Every structure is written in C-alpha cells, then in structure tokens.
Amino acid sequence: MDKQVIISLLASCALLLNPFASFANKLLPFTSDGCSVFFDGNFKERKLWLDCCLAHDMAYWQGGTYAQRKQADAALKECVEEKGEKVIAEIMEAGVRVGGSPFFPTSYRWGYGWQDFRGYGELNQEEIHEADRLLEEYRRGHGKK
C-alpha cells in the first residue's frame, strides 16, 4: 500500500474518532515562535537564521500536502546553509522531519494554524486565499513586505 494512502487513512480515522472535530475548520491568524524548540541563531548572531524559521513557520502554519511539507523543510535547510551553517541546517532539517508531523499535538506541527486537526491535504482556492489574506495581515502588523 502506498505511503500517502496509509497517511490519508490514518488522518481520516483520527478525524472520525475525534469527537471535537469540526467540519468548518478555521484557519487562525498567523503566529510564529521563531525556531520553536531550537535556537534562533548562534552565540555571535542571536537571530542569524530566524528569518529562515519564520518562512518555514508560514508554510507549516497553513499546511498542505506531504510533498509541500518536504519542500518547506528543504527550503529551511537551504536557507540556514546560506547563512554559513551547514551542520546546523542538517540538524534542523532532521528535527523538523521528525518533530513536525501533523499527527503530533504540538504548536509547531504541520498545519498548526488550523483550529482543528487537518493532517495532509491540498488547500482549496478559498483556503489559499484566506491564508494569503492572513499572512498579509501579519506582514502589515509586523512591518514586513
């Protein structure tokens, strides 16, 4: 059986067994805790790769498909490598691959912006539009373009 099919079946079972599941799942405003349970930078530059983590959080917040998650994790690694931190980039990538599963009840899991469990799945046009709107709202409030 295909790995993606198994993941979809597990997600469906989890949703059906969750008495608090809502069929009107709402995307909450974007939040970021920086690099979650990792440092935002090194001793010399305390926020050296924080911008990498913020971009990664934007992808994780809205969630999406398993392939999109792999792409977000690869982008995080590449961004940190570009800061001159190849070993740190590899450690971070390993950490997010293991700890970022949507099936863990953490504040930094894949799709953490959704009010209820979402798992893996493509966002529809309405969800994409709402995610874009909320990210723009965040950027305006934080002086980012």
70-92 residue pLDDT tens:
999 999 999 999 999 999 999 99
Mean pLDDT over 40-68 rounds to 97
Is the pLDDT assigned to residue 23 strictly greater than 70?
A: no
Token look-up 């982008």 returns 75
Distance CA 25, CA 14 (A): 15
Q: What's the Cα-to-Cα distance from 107 to each of 3, 51, 90, 99, 123, rounded to whole Å?
A: 25, 19, 22, 11, 20
